[in-house]
Amino acid sequence: MCIKIFMLRFVYKPLCVFLSLFIPNSKLRRKLRQTILYSRDFPYPHVLSIPETVKLLQNGASIARLGDGEFNLALGSEIYYQKNSPEIQRRMIEILKNTNQRCLVAIPPKPESGFFREYFTRCARILNFMRLNTTYANANISRNSDFLVNGITEYRKIWENRRVVFIYSSAGRFEITPEIFSNILEYEHIDVPPIDAFEQYKQIMQRAKSYPHDRLFLISCGPAATVIAYDLANLGYQAIDIGHLPNCYANQLGNAPMPEDLPVSK
């Protein structure tokens, strides 16, 4: 694996850049880079389908999701809505390598093209932190494409008649949309900062641990949600890193822009 990653990062990519210098048209240069990059395969773990992942959640599983923001933190980079630190970097790597069956760890499925194909080619080091011989859950459960597969009905089964604790920022993007959550028995809310929520990790966990273990936690607070869901699952709670699910559902209906196009705080 290390040899493949070395070749991918230090041979094919420089060759691509070098060849593109001889093409005057910028669009053609970009096309050449993508063609060469996408033509190189790279090792990648098996990822469950979206329906398989949702079914596990219906059956009581917890989930911690990682995308490009969490990957960047694991690699030591900053992201605009969460400061990096040795602690959060360590936690992202720990969760990505997780072999603990108490919590599903979710990553995007292997991409054939588009943003993540380019991302994994450019940031191939992240593959060193993945368990290539195991199966991950699907991180796209909260993204727009998922509603074309499942609609919202299958999601509502997860929290139907459950007592729920939401962890999100009232000053952020997340909203408790009635169409999605109207079948919840009752809910409470732990408010967190819209930016750098991990800075309050200890306080959030202290409040969360005060609830009975029959509570379902639905968490939306960036990379902090990954860690909080993972740690609550290890304490015996069902915890779901739900991400931008309400925002993506609204976008799919044509009622809102993409979550990333919304301000981080109101």
Residues 24 and 56 reside in one and the same domain: no
Residue 266 lies in a domain: no
Residue 5 has pLDDT above 60, yes or no: no
* Helix (H) or strand (E) run with residue 94 in it: helix 86-96
pLDDT at residue 2, as a whole number: 46
Residue 167 counted as domain residue: yes
In our burial notation (b when 16+ CB lie closer than 10 A, e otherwise), range 96-108 reads: bebeeeebbbbbb
Indicate whether 219 and 248 sit together in one domain: yes
Model pTM score: 0.84
Token pair 């290890």: residue: 234
Is 50 exceeded by the pLDDT of residue 225? yes
Round to whole Å and give the CA distance between 196 and 190: 15
Count: domains in the chain: 2
Q: Are residues 160 and 174 in the same domain?
A: yes
For residue 171, is it within any domain?
A: yes
Q: What is the mean pLDDT of residues 193-204?
A: 97
In this predicted structure, the answer to whether residue 12 has a pLDDT above a threshold of 80 is no
Q: Are residues 216 and 233 in the same domain?
A: yes
Res 146 pLDDT > 90: no
Higher pLDDT, 212 or 41: 212
pLDDT at 108: 93
Sequence letter at residue 77: S
Give yes or no for residue 3 having a pLDDT over 50.
Answer: no
- DSSP sequence for 141-188: GGSHHHHHHHTTHHHHHHHTT-EEEEEE-TTSS----HHHHTT-SEEE
Question: What's the mean pLDDT in 117-143?
Answer: 88
Region of residue 169 (left: phi > 0; alpha: psi -120 to 50; beta: else): beta
Q: Does 221 have pLDDT greater than 90?
A: yes
Work out the mean pLDDT of the chain and round it to a whole number.
86
Judge if 218 and 229 occupy the same domain.
yes
Residue 73 CA: distances (Å) to CA of 42, 56, 69, 167, 262: 21, 27, 6, 21, 22
Q: In Å, how far from its chain's centre is CA 169? A: 17
Average of per-residue pLDDT across 136-153: 79
Q: Picking from 75-84, 153-162, 222-231, 254-263, which range would have the lowest pLDDT averaged per residue?
A: 254-263
Of 42, 52, 27, 175, the residue nearest 104 (C-alpha)? 52
Q: What is the pLDDT of residue 116?
A: 81
Name which residue leads in pLDDT, 8 or 201: 201
Instruction: Give the tens place of pLDDT for each residue, 122-132.
Output: 788 898 999 98
Q: At what angle do helices 201-208 and 223-234 cross, to 10 degrees?
A: 40
The highest-confidence range among 97-101, 131-135, 238-242, by mean pLDDT, is 238-242
Contact between 196 and 174 under an 8 Å Cβ cutoff? The reply is: no
Q: Domain check: are 12 and 54 in the same one?
A: no
Parallel, antiparallel or unpaired: strands 103-107 and 62-65: parallel
Q: Which pLDDT belongs to residue 264?
A: 74
What's residue 20's pLDDT?
59
Would you place residue 25 in the very low, low, confident or very high pLDDT band (cuts 50, 70, 90)? Answer: low
Domain that holds residue 22: 1-41
Q: Domain check: are 75 and 144 in the same one?
A: yes
Q: Which band of pLDDT confidence, cut at 50, 70 and 90, is reported for residue 111?
A: confident
Same-domain pairing of 50 and 94: yes
Confidence of residue 137 (pLDDT cuts 50, 70, 90): very high
pLDDT at 76 over 80: yes
pLDDT for residue 114: 76
User: 3 with 132, same domain?
Assistant: no
Judge if 102 and 6 occupy the same domain.
Answer: no
The angle subtended at Cα 56 by Cα 148 and Cα 253, nearest 5°, is 20
Q: Could you tell me if residue 80 is inside a domain?
A: yes
- Spatial distance between the Cα atoms of 139 and 109, rounded to a whole number of angstroms: 8
Sheet containing 216-220: give its strands across: 46-47, 135-138, 103-107, 62-65, 238-241, 216-220, 163-168, 186-191
CA dihedral over 178, 182, 186, 187, signed as positive or negative? negative
H and E: helices and strands count for the chain:
13, 8
- Supply the angle between the helices 26-39 and 13-20 in degrees, to the nearest 10: 160
